[in-house]
Amino acid sequence: MKKVYSRPKYLKKVPMHYCPGCGHSIVAKLITELVEEMDIADRTICIPPAGCAVLLYNYFDFDCVESAHGRGGAIATAMKRVLPDRVIFTYQGDGDLAAIGTAETIHAANRGERFTTIFINNAVYGMTGGQMAPTTLFNQKTTTSQFGREMRRDGAPIKMSEMLATLDEGVAYIERTTVIDVPSIKKTKKAIKKAFQIQMDDIGFSLVEVLSPCPTNWKMNPLQSCKWIDEDMTKVFPLGVIKDITENKKVKEAVNAD
Amino acid sequence: MRGNTVVGEAAIRAGCTCYFGYPITPQNELPEYMSRRLTEIEDGIFIQSESEISAINMVLGASVAGARVMTSSSSPGISLKQEGISFLCGDELPAVIVNMVRGGPGLGNISPAQSDYFQSTRGGGHGDYRTVVLAPASCQEMADLTMEAFDISDYYRNPVLILADGMLGQMMEPVTFENYKPRELPKKDYIIDGAKGRPSRFVRSLILNTKDMEEHNWKLMRKYKMITKNEIKCDEFMMDDAKIAVVAYGTAARIAKGAVKRARKEGLKVGLIRPITLWPYPSEVIKKWARSVSLFVVFEMSAGQMIEDVELSLKGSSEVYFYGRPGGVIPTPMELVKIISSQYYQKGF
Ligand code: SF4
């Protein structure tokens, strides 16, 4: 009999603390599958954030370093410079990456640091109980925007991926995906794989933004959450490749020359 | 060599391969020197970071990856680094942090000051932790203490702070780097460099279970006790028959030394106690002299911060007088001589 599915090798055999229907657990699984498939477990280092994914190191069976809230980009920068042949990625939520860690993110990307960022965008602060995030949509109700997000008071949902894409050649690849059905999950996996490959090929900074359901704080069931991403969130945060310099002739030649 | 560059060269010679920092006066010669010098070193890494916060987190990243790493700044910048310093302590990671203190609070000014004593010796960031604080008073000590700082930091897996000021940073004095005797250090078996040929591991400061968190705190305290036992440094000058002991460190101690010499010429029995480690504090030295000294004159370039440690050391067993100038004012030796002699005669020594 052919085995078509099993627990990824580098996902530790412990229960996850994520809520039912949460996108984090899917992405964690995809990463561990990739680490196995790409055979990079002995040189992969993850930098988890502060937030719902703070305990990632309890699930990943490869090396991890905790980060203070938002500082992943700075830690990854130094680690990758000291250990250039390791595969290093930060895993950050919207509060971590797009609010408190905006400076670290922008400048690491601008320097073209050769690490990957997995950016989980669920438009809300998950672990602290559902406060407004920098990516919260207009009119979206959260515990700190109880009548809905509003422009004059809260500003607009920030599009980090689009902003980062405007940076020069340091930024090699940015794609926005989601994890609401089998095709989108497969696409996310492909995107993360490409991002890892880009850092291994020494091309530049790579980031995959994943629109990820947070049923608990959205006060929806998992299916409603997926529908909300599909119908509302993707209107503000359209899916697809936002930047990719790997098709650029010069970059191709450089990679092939290696 | 100039003080700021002495620190840089000493770091390189002690095996520092990474420097991360953000420009701030009065310490800019140090990052400038490192930016050039680290290009000459194999594996040398220099990044001018986008912020102080970023710099200290780069320090954390390089440290956890196993490199010898340094950052430097001045007062307002060090305030910004406090979050990272707390994490370094919680994670038990080594790092050397230089603070060329300037007048404060707020933006203050760029003149030499000692008003960051509390911040340095009491923790500065959140949580129950300590950083080792070394206070050089000459270019030679800048060299010696910087080199030793890396060893202390690696040995105890704890950040070490070098506390100086713009005066020491700008000062030119001849130096030798030959005094350094590298310590025998334990293997870095905690670093994160990929789980090759070993089980995976992680470094973190988050410990949700309160019992475990308490134990982690006690473990740190046991370490700090060990540091207190082994690492205290203090200089004593003309103390043998002293009736008055001036207690001062760093630039203030240089001024105080001049004052003590002048007072001696006038026949006053005055000596100087100069703490070199501000944490751990040389309380035993202060206590020891309480038997023969009648008055301790604490002299600082602040409104009075180290005086608390002197009083804690003496526990009321001797009289303490404070003289200080905050705000970046550099007092003259004559100013202090006047204070010493008026106290001397008032008290009838
Ligand atoms: S709060 Fe939201 S993001 Fe956090 S674990 Fe639950 S569903 Fe996931």
In a domain, A239, yes or no: yes
Q: Give me the mean pLDDT over the A189-206 stretch.
A: 98
Relative orientation angle of helices B52-64 and A102-110, to the nearest 10 degrees = 70
Tell which residue, B169, B167, B179, has the closest CA to residue B1. Answer: B169
Q: Which of A61, A82, A106 sits opposite B65 (nearest CB)?
A: A82
Option in B43, B49, B67 nearest A74 (CB): B49
Instruction: Kindly state the average pLDDT of the residues B156-184.
Output: 97
Once rounded to an integer, what is the mean pLDDT over residues A187-216?
A: 98
CB A203 within 8 A of CB A245: yes
Does B57 contact A67 at a Cβ distance shorter than 8 Å? yes
Distance from CA of B164 to the nearest CA of A (A): 26
- Per-residue confidence (pLDDT) for residue A4, from 0 to 100: 85
A9 within a domain of the structure (yes/no): no
In this structure, is residue A18 part of a structural domain?
A: no
Nearest CA in chain A to B61: A75
Q: For residue A24, how far is its CA from the centre of ligand 1 (angstroms)?
A: 7
A3-11 contacts, C-beta under 8 A, 24 or more apart: A8/A32, A8/A33, A8/A35, A8/A36, A9/A36, A9/A41, A9/A61, A10/A35, A10/A36, A10/A41, A10/A60, A10/A61, A10/A62, A11/A59, A11/A60, A11/A61
Tell me whether residue A16 is in a domain: no
For chain A, the domain total comes to 1
Range A77-100 average pLDDT: 98
Element (H, E) at B229: helix B210-230
Cα torsion A74, B67, B33, A205: sign: negative
A258: confidence class by pLDDT, cuts 50, 70, 90: low
Cross-chain CB nearest to B200 (options A63, A86, A111) = A63
Residue at A165 is within a domain: yes
Q: What is the mean pLDDT of residues B281-290?
A: 98
Summary mean pLDDT of chain A:
96
Answer yes or no: is the C-beta of A194 below 6 A from any ligand 1 atom: no
CA atoms of B97 and B133, how far apart (whole Å)? 10
pLDDT band per the 50, 70, 90 thresholds, residue A237: very high
| Band of residue A254 on the pLDDT scale cut at 50, 70, 90 | confident
Distance of CA B193 to the CA centre of its chain: 30
Kindly determine whether residue A79 and residue B55, on different chains, have CB atoms separated by under 8 Å.
no
The percent of residues in chain A predicted with pLDDT above 90, rounded, is 93
Q: Is residue A201 part of a domain?
A: yes
Domains of chain B: 3-230 (3.40.50.970), 235-346 (3.40.50.920)
Q: Give the pLDDT confidence of B297-322 residue by residue, as tens digits.
A: 999 999 999 999 999 999 999 999 99
- Binned at pLDDT 50, 70 and 90, residue A250 comes out as confident
List the single best residue of A31, A67, A75 to mutate versus B (max B Cβ within 10 A): A75
Q: Is A69 a member of any domain?
A: yes
The answer to the question of residue A208 being in a domain is yes
Our mutation pick for probing the ligand 1 site, out of A19, A142, A180, counting the most ligand atoms within 8 A of Cβ, is A19
pLDDT above 80 for B333? yes
Mean pLDDT over residues A171-184, rounded? 98
The CATH number of residue A229's host domain is: 3.40.50.970
User: Over pLDDT 90: what percentage of chain B?
Assistant: 99
Q: Is the CB of A51 under 6 A from ligand 1?
A: no
Query: Which structural domain range is residue A206 located in?
Result: 24-256
Q: Is the CB of A215 within 6 Å of ligand 1?
A: yes
- Quickly state the pLDDT bin for B289 (edges 50, 70, 90): very high
Protein residue whose Cα sits closest to atom 8 of ligand 1: A22
| Average confidence score pLDDT of chain B | 97
Backbone angles phi, psi at A64, to 5 degrees: -140, 150
Average pLDDT of the residues in B232-241: 98
pLDDT score of A151? 98
Q: Looking at residues B130-151, what average pLDDT do you find? A: 98
| Confidence check: pLDDT of A257 > 90 | no
Which pLDDT does position A130 carry in this prediction?
96
